[in-house]
Amino acid sequence: MRPVPAELLHFSEDPTITRFAPHVAATAADPDPYVWAVDAEQSPLYWFPRQCPRAMAWIGPRTTVEDRERVLGPGGVVPLGPPAPVGDLFALHAAAGIQLRVLPGIRAFFDGLVAGSMEFSGIRLRNADCRRT
């Protein structure tokens, strides 16, 4: 599911939402209230269940050849409608031209992104720590 040009979407698993009201998220660095919405370019970051830890990387102007090869091989509103399943995540990513990897752990991959030159995002990474001893 991707917004059309000039359209923004809010991804949620809560079917009871009837209105999105600006609020300050518990993890917000900015004290201003917002309604979280994303455009077509950022929407793949939210195709996963809310609590699923995930890390994404995309090639930006500072990306080195080494990082490109390491990661890629040799990115108040009324809802448009009720929540809809996004479908087969593997097929959705393939259709969008996005490489999807399933890893046994996310921490080392994300640490490499932070130390490297690629643009990146990490979501719900604290949930990746649940098996630490």
CA triple 100-103-107, angle to 5 deg = 115
Q: Which of 32, 42, 59, 49 is CA-nearest to residue 117?
A: 59
State the residue for tokens 């959705």: 92
Instruction: Indicate the DSSP class of residue 23.
Output: B
Find all residues with CB under 8 Å of 73, minimum gap 6, and list them: none
Q: Please determine, for residue 114, whether its predicted confidence score (pLDDT) is greater than 60.
A: yes
Average pLDDT over residues 35-49: 78
CA distance 3 to 127: 27
CA distance 97 to 91: 10
Q: What percent of the chain has pLDDT over 90?
A: 0
Find all residues with CB under 8 Å of 46, minimum gap 6, and list them: 11, 38, 123
Categorize the per-residue pLDDT at 129 as very low, low, confident or very high, splitting at 50, 70 and 90.
Answer: low
Q: Please determine, for residue 80, whether its predicted confidence score (pLDDT) is greater than 80.
A: no
pTM of the model: 0.45
Average pLDDT over residues 101-111: 83
Q: Compute the CA torsion angle 45, 5, 8, 124 (nearest 10 deg).
A: 10
Q: Which of 87, 90, 7 is CA-nearest to residue 42?
A: 7
Average pLDDT over residues 7-22: 79
